[in-house]
Amino acid sequence: MAKNPGIPFAQDQDERSGPKLSVTIEAVAFGGDGLARHDGKVIFVPDAIPEESLEIEILKDHGRFAHGRRLRTLQPAPYSQENPCPYAELCGGCQWLHVPYERQLAWKKSFIAAAFQKFAKVEWPSSWPIVAAPQTAGYRNRIKIKLQHLPSGSFRWGYYAKGSHTLVPIKHCWIAADPINKVLQAFSELNCKAPQQGALYELELQHLPGTDDQVTAAFLPPAPDSFIDRLREASAQHPILGKRLIWSKANDPARIFEEDRNLTYHTHAGQFQQVNREANHYLRAWIERKALALGAERIVDLFCGSGNLSLGLAQAGSQVWGLEVGEAAIAAAAQNVSVNELDTAQYACGLAHHLHAIYPDLKGQSIDLVLVDPPRKGMAEALESVLSLKAPHLIYVSCDPNTLARDLRTILEAGYTLKDGLGLDFFPHSYHVETVVHLSLLP
Domain boundaries, the chain: 20-80, 108-134+276-441, 142-255
Phi first, then psi: give them for residue 363, nearest 5 degrees: -65, 125
Contact of 177 with 208, CB cutoff 8 Å: no
Contact of 335 with 347, CB cutoff 8 Å: no
Q: Of 345, 348, 354, 311, whose CA–CA distance to 326 is shortest?
A: 348
pLDDT of amino acid 29: 94
pLDDT of amino acid 235: 92
Low-confidence residues of the chain, pLDDT below 70? 1-17, 195-197, 210-211
Class of the CATH domain delimited by 142-255: mainly beta
Give residue-wise pLDDT tens across range 384-418: 999 999 999 999 999 999 999 999 999 999 999 99
Give residue-wise pLDDT tens across range 210-223: 667 899 999 988 88
CA gap 71, 262 in Å, rounded: 53
Residue 431: which residues within 8 A CB-CB, separation 6 or more?
28, 30, 31, 32, 95, 96, 107, 108, 111
Residue 15: which residues within 8 A CB-CB, separation 6 or more?
none
H helices present in 297-423, as ranges: 311-315, 327-339, 355-358, 383-388, 401-413
The CA-CA-CA angle for residues 22, 26, 32, to 5°, reads 100
Q: Of 212, 15, 105, whose CA–CA distance to 430 is shortest?
A: 105
CA gap 348, 343 in Å, rounded: 15
pLDDT of amino acid 6: 31
Residue 18: which residues within 8 A CB-CB, separation 6 or more?
57, 58, 59, 60, 61, 68
CA gap 426, 281 in Å, rounded: 11
CATH of domain 108-134+276-441: 3.40.50.150
Class of the CATH domain delimited by 20-80: mainly beta
CA gap 433, 23 in Å, rounded: 28
pLDDT of amino acid 4: 37
Contact of 431 with 95, CB cutoff 8 Å: yes
Q: Check for a shared fold between 20-80 and 142-255.
A: yes
pLDDT of amino acid 16: 56
Q: Of 287, 284, 318, 312, whose CA–CA distance to 300 is shortest?
A: 318
Residue 238 identity (one-letter amino acid)? H
